[in-house]
Amino acid sequence: MNVQAENHDGVLVAKVEGRVDSSNSQDFERQLQAAIGDDIGAVVMDLGQLAYISSAGLRVVLLVAKTLGQRNVSISLCALSDPVQSVFEISGFNRIIRIHDTQADALAAAGK
C-alpha cells in the first residue's frame, strides 16, 4: 500500500495503491494524514490503483472524511475499481462520501 499526494491548484489529490486491510490500516491513516496537511481547500482520493479495501481501511476513510468535514474541507473519491466500488455500496459509504467516475470529474466538482 502506498499513498502519493499531488497538489492541483489547492486541491489535494491522494493516489492510493495496493491493498488496505487491518494489517496496514494504521500506516494508511498516517500516510493520508501526512499527505493532507493543514493548508488545503479540498481533497480528492484517487482509488484507481487500489485493489482491495477492508473495513479497517473504510474506517480510516471515514475518520479522514469526518475530520475534514469539521474543517469544512470537501472530500470525494474517484476512479473506483468494481470490487472497491462494491465495498462502498454494500457498506453504504457511497451515501456518505461523494464518488466520481474519473479524477477529472472529481476535480471539476471540487470547484476548480
Partner 1 sequence: MSDGTRARAARSANPDYKILVVDDEPDLERLVKQRMRRHIRSGRYGFEFAGNGIEALEKLTEIRDIDIVLSDINMPKMDGLTLLQQIPEVNADIRSVIVSAYGDMENIRTAMNRGAFDFVTKPIDFADLQVTIDRTLRHLDEWRAALASRDKLVALQNELDVATKIQQSILPDQFPHVDGCEVYGCMEAARNVGGDFFDVIRLEGGSLGLAVADVSDKGVPAALFMMSSRTLLKGAAVGIGHPGAVLSEVNDLLNETNDAAMFVTVFYGVYDPASKVLTFSNGGHNPPLVVHADGSSEELELTGGIALGAVPQFEYGQASVQLRPGDMVVFFTDGVTEAVNPRSDEFGLEAVQALFEDGETRSAQEAAEMILKAVREFAGEAPQFDDLTCMILRVADE
Please report, as ranges, the residues that interact with partner 1 according to CB under 8 A. 21-23, 25, 52, 54-56, 58-59, 62-63, 66, 89-93, 95-96
Q: Which residues of 71-87 are buried (b: 16+ CB within 10 A; e: fewer)?
A: eebbbbbbbbeeebbeb
Nearer to partner 1, 11 or 31 (CB): 31
Nearer to partner 1, 9 or 92 (CB): 92
Least distance in angstroms from the C-beta of 94 to partner 1: 9
Nearer to partner 1, 33 or 103 (CB): 33
Least distance in angstroms from the C-beta of 29 to partner 1: 10
